[in-house]
């Protein structure tokens, strides 16, 4: 007698079960809107969150550049960081900060994933793969802050500016520098490395004459600028994760 065809029902159940147990994907979580997660778009110069506002969410940068700054009681602005794609901003809310200690604003057209504090705390607790990725981000940020401190204490203005330009161009992520899309003023560069605009202007002109950078509607940083850091005894290192 011919055999009866086997039922496909168990296979379907198996597929459903397999799908239900699929490993957690951090990038999918950060790129897909869902419970406690919203994709937000900001135009250039628009405020993402303001100093003194409620700290109730963390933002993941999907596209664009974000400036983080602090304003003193006298109204003087100090730029704390310039952040780009695949970085987080606003994570201070996770360590008990009830109010924002700085202002985050868009330097270019930006697309961010807003993750509520409650949802991010849940996924950090329940998903080890996400926790590892987030901890890696925090450690990288801390290493960069330490590098900046060493930079300010020991390196010359020329080296500090070269290092900042390379960081802004994402040098090291794939072995080459990228064009700096955001228009960053010399005043902003001067604030970030602790010098005057005239000194920044002097070294920018020097770098351009030496072929280390170009101005073609936007600032292009060439890999050869690394030579400025390596001259004499280097005190700062551009890493792939910086």
pLDDT given at position 51: 96
- Number of H-type helices and E-type strands within the chain: 8, 10
- Homologous superfamily of the 23-129 domain (CATH): Jelly Rolls (2.60.120.10)
Q: Cα(202)–Cα(237) distance, rounded to whole angstroms?
A: 24
pLDDT given at position 33: 94
Looking at the chain, the domain(s) classified CATH 1.10.10.10 span 143-230
Is 143-230 in CATH node 3.40.50.10490? Answer: no
Q: Cα(192)–Cα(228) distance, rounded to whole angstroms?
A: 18
pLDDT given at position 113: 98
Neighbours of 86 (CB within 10 A): 14
pTM equals 0.72
pLDDT in tens, the chain (242 residues): 444 444 444 444 444 444 456 789 999 999 999 999 999 999 999 999 999 999 999 999 999 999 999 988 888 888 888 899 999 999 999 998 999 999 999 999 999 999 999 999 999 999 999 999 999 999 988 888 888 888 888 889 999 999 888 888 877 565 567 777 677 889 889 988 889 999 999 999 999 999 999 987 778 888 889 888 887 644 444 444 43
pLDDT given at position 11: 44
pLDDT given at position 54: 96
pLDDT given at position 58: 97
Q: Cα(32)–Cα(30) distance, rounded to whole angstroms?
A: 6
Q: Cα(183)–Cα(164) distance, rounded to whole angstroms?
A: 14
């Amino acid at each position: 007698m011919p055999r009866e065809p086997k039922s496909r029902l168990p296979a379907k159940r198996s597929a459903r079960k397999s799908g239900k147990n699929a490993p957690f994907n951090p990038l999918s979580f950060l790129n897909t809107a869902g419970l406690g997660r919203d994709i937000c778009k900001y135009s250039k110069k628009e405020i993402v969150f303001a100093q003194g506002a409620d700290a109730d969410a963390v933002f993941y940068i999907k596209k664009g550049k974000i400036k983080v700054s602090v304003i003193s009681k006298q109204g003087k602005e100090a730029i704390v960081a310039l952040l780009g794609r695949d970085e987080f901003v606003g994570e201070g809310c996770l360590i008990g900060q009830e109010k924002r200690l700085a202002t985050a604003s868009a330097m270019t057209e930006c697309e961010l994933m807003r993750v509520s504090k409650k949802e991010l705390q849940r996924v950090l607790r329940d998903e080890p793969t996400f926790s590892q990725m987030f901890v890696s981000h925090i450690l990288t940020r801390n290493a960069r802050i330490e590098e900046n401190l060493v930079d300010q204490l020991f390196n010359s203005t020329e080296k500090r500016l070269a290092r900042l330009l390379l960081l802004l161009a994402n040098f090291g992520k794939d072995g080459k520098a990228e064009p700096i899309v955001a228009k960053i003023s010399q005043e902003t560069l001067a604030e970030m490395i602790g010098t005057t605009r005239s000194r920044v202007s002097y070294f920018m002109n020097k770098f351009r004459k030496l072929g280390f950078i170009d101005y073609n509607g936007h600032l292009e940083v060439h890999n050869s600028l690394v030579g400025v850091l390596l001259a004499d005894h280097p005190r700062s290192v551009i890493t792939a994760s910086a």
